[in-house]
């Protein structure tokens, strides 16, 4: 019994992480069905960790459980993307305003490292990871766990849209000048300026149809 308890969480996390990445990167399309038996067979597990992994993904907004239709991957349409960007434009700014007052030199260094990783990215996968890390750091000290949970869900939707548009258009390395301006404002303790820059940054990404943050 104890062996099951020790092994079970890692199985759930492994299944959830693999499915999460497939959904985000468009390898599993919106509207596609996820079958418990198929997933259990692939990961050589029982149905119990598969159901728990599905619950995690549903909490993140990546799947829905529908009556008589089972578990389906959620759709990301233009209306969803617009709503996502507007929510980020409000909530991430709130998180930064509360976080920035607590930033130390270490936070600035981590932001600079994430910014450098964005600039050095050789693929959309690398850039998305570095970009998400940059925005995670901006919100990290807000002291609002529920806000952070919502931002994480918005970030997942943002990444899904990024991959769907990035691959279609042919991704190229991007200059993240806005990120550098935000860092400089935070270095100078100009919190209002940093918040303004972040708001403009998210708004600009929405207007060009590439909500990459």
- Same domain flag for 164 and 151: yes
Residue 73 per-residue DSSP state: E
169 and 93 in one domain? yes
In the three-class reduction of DSSP (H, G, I as helix; E, B as strand; rest coil), residue 122 is classed as coil
Short-list 137, 119, 136, 138, CA closest to 127: 119
Q: Does the pLDDT of residue 210 top 80, yes or no? A: no
Is residue 18 domain-shared with residue 46, that is, in the same domain?
A: yes
Q: Is residue 49 domain-shared with residue 133, that is, in the same domain? A: no
Place of tokens 């239709």: 69
Listing from the earlier edge strand, what are the strands of the sheet with 63-66? 33-34, 70-73, 63-66
Tens digits of residue pLDDT in 53-83: 999 999 999 999 988 889 999 998 888 888 8
Q: What is the domain range of residue 95?
A: 78-207
Final residue belonging to a domain, choices 11, 38, 73: 73
Same domain, 95 and 7: no
Residue 6 has pLDDT above 50, yes or no: no
pLDDT band at residue 165 under the 50/70/90 scheme: confident
pLDDT in tens, 28-43: 999 999 999 999 999 9
How many domains does the chain contain in total? 2
Q: What is the DSSP letter of 208?
A: T
Q: What are the structure tokens assigned to 185, written together?
A: 């404002």
3-class secondary structure, 66: strand
Residues 105 and 183 placed together within one structural domain of the fold:
yes
In a domain, 213, yes or no: no
């Amino acid at each position: 019994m104890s062996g099951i308890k020790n092994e079970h969480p890692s199985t759930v996390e492994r299944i959830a992480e693999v499915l999460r990445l497939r959904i985000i990167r468009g390898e599993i399309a919106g509207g596609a069905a996820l079958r418990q038996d198929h997933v259990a067979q692939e990961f050589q597990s029982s149905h119990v960790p598969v159901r728990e992994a599905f619950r995690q993904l549903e909490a993140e907004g990546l799947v829905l459980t529908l009556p008589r239709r089972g578990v389906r991957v959620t759709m990301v349409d233009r209306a969803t993307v617009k709503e996502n960007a507007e929510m980020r434009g409000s909530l991430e700014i709130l998180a930064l305003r509360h976080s920035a007052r607590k930033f130390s030199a270490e936070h600035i260094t981590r932001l600079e490292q994430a910014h450098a990783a964005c600039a050095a990215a050789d693929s959309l996968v690398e850039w998305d990871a570095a970009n998400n890390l940059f925005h995670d750091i901006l919100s990290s000290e807000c002291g609002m766990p529920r806000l952070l949970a919502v931002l994480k869900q918005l970030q997942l939707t943002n990444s899904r849209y990024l991959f769907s548009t990035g691959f279609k258009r042919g991704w190229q390395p991007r200059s993240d000048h806005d990120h550098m301006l935000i860092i400089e404002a935070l270095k100078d303790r100009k919190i209002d300026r940093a918040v303004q820059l972040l708001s403009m940054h998210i708004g600009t990404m929405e207007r060009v149809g590439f909500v990459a943050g």
